[in-house]
Amino acid sequence: MSQKITALVVDDEEFARENLRMFIEEYCPEIELIGAAKSATEARQLILEQNPSIVFLDIMMPGEDGFTFLKSVEDRTFHVIFTTAFREHALRAIKEAALDYLEKPIDIDELKKAVARAVKQVELEKPTAVSNDRMSRVLQEIVLTNNVEKTVVPTRDGIAIIKNVDIIHLEASENYTTLYVLGGKKYVSSKSIKAFEDKLDPNMFFRVHKSHIINMAHHLRELKRSEGNIAVLTDGTEIPVSRRKLQEFLDKISHL
């Protein structure tokens, strides 16, 4: 196919949009990205203006999730590739409904396979046949297993329920753990940092130091090696990476 196939990325997280954009531009030469939207509202406008052939769509977005967004688009003519951080039961529901998806953090080989399938469908002029019934079934399954995507934090004042993607990093201090969250919020818990490490998704979080866990899938901005090994996060926080953790950390970065 001589002409590139146009695509749109829809994700409320800037890091996720930028990460996927870089991967597509480097590893999917058959695709031309014509835009990126941070909300369903922006996505509808770009689809109306640009008429993309493929839409990379985040499932869980604030206000209007990916399934609700799709239901709002009349006469869909584009192929959908869902992007998701969901695991286990929710992922099985997505597979059983035969929906095309990429699991975050994005694997380059899986991206290539998903794009190849989508390109074939576009060339055959067969848009994604995602029925409302199938979308509803998957969404119900996700709601039932949504605890995988949130962390319950016992605090001094009660209980906080935090979306994992919003957690920037965790810091241990004696027998307490402080969770630093988007918006400058922080929560102090009497749970040990090891207790959080055991429950958090290892594909998203990594313990770079005995006192620090970072959300490397969503909030790692860079690794500075000139001043030792320092992980710089999206809020500007600098976290030391211990020597014994460095190689494993570098391996995980290579798969982001």
> Could you report the per-residue pLDDT of 148-164, keeping only the tens digit for each?
577 877 666 667 778 88
What is the Cα–Cα distance from 216 to 193, expressed in whole angstroms?
16
**153-206, pLDDT tens digit by residue?**
766 666 777 888 899 999 999 889 999 999 999 999 888 899 888 888 888 899
What is the token pair recorded at 183? 């918006």
* Residue keyed to tokens 């509808």: 44
* 94: confidence class by pLDDT, cuts 50, 70, 90: low
5-144 and 149-253, same CATH topology: no
Predicted pLDDT at 160: 78
Q: Name the architecture of domain 149-253.
A: Beta Barrel (2.40)
The answer on pLDDT for 141 being more than 70 is no
Predicted pLDDT at 43: 95
Torsion 84-88-93-96 (CA) sign: positive
Percentage of the chain exceeding pLDDT 70:
82
* Residue keyed to tokens 């067969």: 126
State pTM to two decimals.
0.55
- What is the third-level CATH fold of 5-144? Rossmann fold (3.40.50)
Q: Where are the domains of the chain?
A: 5-144, 149-253
How many alpha carbons lie under 13 Å from residue 204 in its C-beta half-sphere? Answer: 29
Predicted pLDDT at 1: 47
Among 218, 213, 193, 192, which residue's Cα sits nearest to residue 85? Answer: 218
